[in-house]
Amino acid sequence: MFTGIVTDIGRVIEARQEGDLHAKIATGYDPAGIEIGASIACDGVCLTVTALGTAPENWFAVDISTETLSKTNIGAAGWVPGKRLNLERALRVGDELGGHIVSGHVDGVAEVLALRDEGGSTRVTFRAPEALARFVAPKGSVALNGTSLTVNEVEGATFGVNLIPHTKEVTTWGEVAAGDAVNLEIDTLARYVARIREFG
């Protein structure tokens, strides 16, 4: 489990397709504190660490299955060398829950429709996949590229969030542009409420 609070910005060093997609990601995390088999959310996608190294810089490796590629923006966004990623280590018992409960199981891909500066912040409008739109609610939470964000408004399948300067500085959101595809994970609570209402 994760919280949607990004703690590092990683960078793809290498990505090669050999059955699954194998990627090596540079990180500020100390590999000595990461175990093989640990989970790290990469742009919101929970991936398993398969190898670790320190030369020429700290890095960890992951394998990405065809199923994961089909549900996320990894293929569309192009995990090529230099691609920057929001990273978060798995939640440990006793850690502060600063965002909301995030599983790292991406539900689908949302499209960035527009950006508008509002003071020092940026209002971003997204289009969610039709099948997921009903789970997005005003003042509810969503995880977008692994970042816990509050929904401001919803109209049909479109919704908006506000990015404060701090968020843009400590994540990759300062680089977002219209047309980008972003990983969307709906709020777990919204998922279960909708499921209960089906049988209500």
Answer whether residue 97 is part of any domain: no
Look at residues 154, 147, 151 and name the one whose alpha carbon lies nearest to residue 174.
147
Confidence class for position 95, pLDDT limits 50, 70, 90: low
Average pLDDT, the chain: 92
For residues 177 and 125, membership in a common domain is answered with yes
Answer whether residue 102 is part of any domain: no
Answer whether residue 149 is part of any domain: yes
Q: Cβ contacts of residue 163 below 8 Å, gap of 6+?
A: 121, 122, 123, 124, 149, 173
For residues 114 and 190, membership in a common domain is answered with yes
Look at residues 24, 20, 62, 28 and name the one whose alpha carbon lies nearest to residue 45.
62
Cα–Cα distance between 151 and 149 in angstroms, integer?
7
For residues 78 and 115, membership in a common domain is answered with no
For residues 115 and 71, membership in a common domain is answered with no
Which residue range is the domain that position 54 belongs to? Answer: 8-89
Number of independent structural domains in the chain: 2
Answer whether residue 95 is part of any domain: no
Answer whether residue 3 is part of any domain: no
pLDDT tens track for 42-93: 999 999 999 999 999 999 999 999 999 999 999 766 789 999 999 999 987 6
Look at residues 27, 10, 44 and name the one whose alpha carbon lies nearest to residue 148.
44
Answer whether residue 48 is part of any domain: yes
Answer whether residue 1 is part of any domain: no
Q: What average pLDDT does the segment 120-137 reach?
A: 95
Q: What average pLDDT does the segment 184-196 reach?
A: 75
Answer whether residue 100 is part of any domain: no
For residues 79 and 143, membership in a common domain is answered with no
For residues 116 and 76, membership in a common domain is answered with no
Q: The CATH number of the domain where 152 resides is what?
A: 2.40.30.20
For residues 157 and 126, membership in a common domain is answered with yes
Is residue 99 pLDDT above 90, yes or no?
no
